[in-house]
Amino acid sequence: MINNAGFSLSGVFESISREKIRELFDVNVFGVMDVTRAILPHFRKNKAGVIVNISSRAGLVGMPMISSYSATKYALEGFSESLSYELASRNILVKIVEPSGGVTSTNFSDRMRREYAPDSMPGDYSKFVEHAGAVYAGMEARRKTGADEVAKTVYEAATDNTSRLRYFIGEDVGGFVQAKRDMTDEAFGEFMRSRFRPKQ
């Protein structure tokens, strides 16, 4: 079973309504949980099964301007990892596929741009948002992960018969994932702030 439904919201946290964030969690987290709950009796009866959840680099590294989306993917990561230990006792595998920096050949980024609501943003964020936008534009220009590559990785996760949990796809654009793995929390925090801090 593959849980792939998801969308993102962009903008500073203050500009995104509670209702939109609830909608985001309903799709990205509770939807996954509902579908998983529905399939588990079938998998337990057959004493086997594979659940593949599509996450994101934003579930590994918190990123500015997508805090609510990142929160849903962190939740998905924690749910999937915890569930994998429960379901191992039933011979059911849980896998997490983590594309990096968005995927070409989908309408994911187009919808995220449509959901963006700059009119509701407090004005004193403007310099930060402008700089962060430039950082993301540079990252998007380097994005190379295609939908076909994600499909191949999903197939691998579903059929490799291993207990491997995470499958990271694509280039670590910006080096954020590797930096988080290699640095102390303090050093990583400064690394991130330095990337997104507007020049005075």
Task: State pTM to two decimals.
Answer: 0.88
In this structure, are residues 134 and 29 in contact, taking their beta carbons and an 8 Å threshold?
Answer: no
pLDDT digits (tens, 9 = 90+) for 74-99: 999 999 999 999 999 999 999 999 99
What span, in angstroms and rounded, lies between the C-alpha atoms of 75 and 113? 23
DSSP state at residue 65: T
In a domain, 195, yes or no: no
Average pLDDT over residues 168-194: 93
In a domain, 86, yes or no: yes
Q: What is the CATH number of the domain that holds 109?
A: 3.40.50.720
Residues taking part in catalysis: 69
Average pLDDT over residues 194-200: 84
pLDDT of residue 107: 55
In a domain, 133, yes or no: no
pLDDT digits (tens, 9 = 90+) for 108-148: 555 555 665 555 788 889 999 999 989 988 887 776 778 88
Range of the structural domain that residue 64 is part of: 2-121+144-174
In a domain, 183, yes or no: no
Antiparallel, parallel or unpaired: β 92-99 and 49-54: parallel
Length of the chain: 200
Domain count, the chain: 1
Give the model's confidence band at 100: pLDDT under 50 very low, under 70 low, under 90 confident, else very high: confident
In a domain, 138, yes or no: no
In a domain, 131, yes or no: no
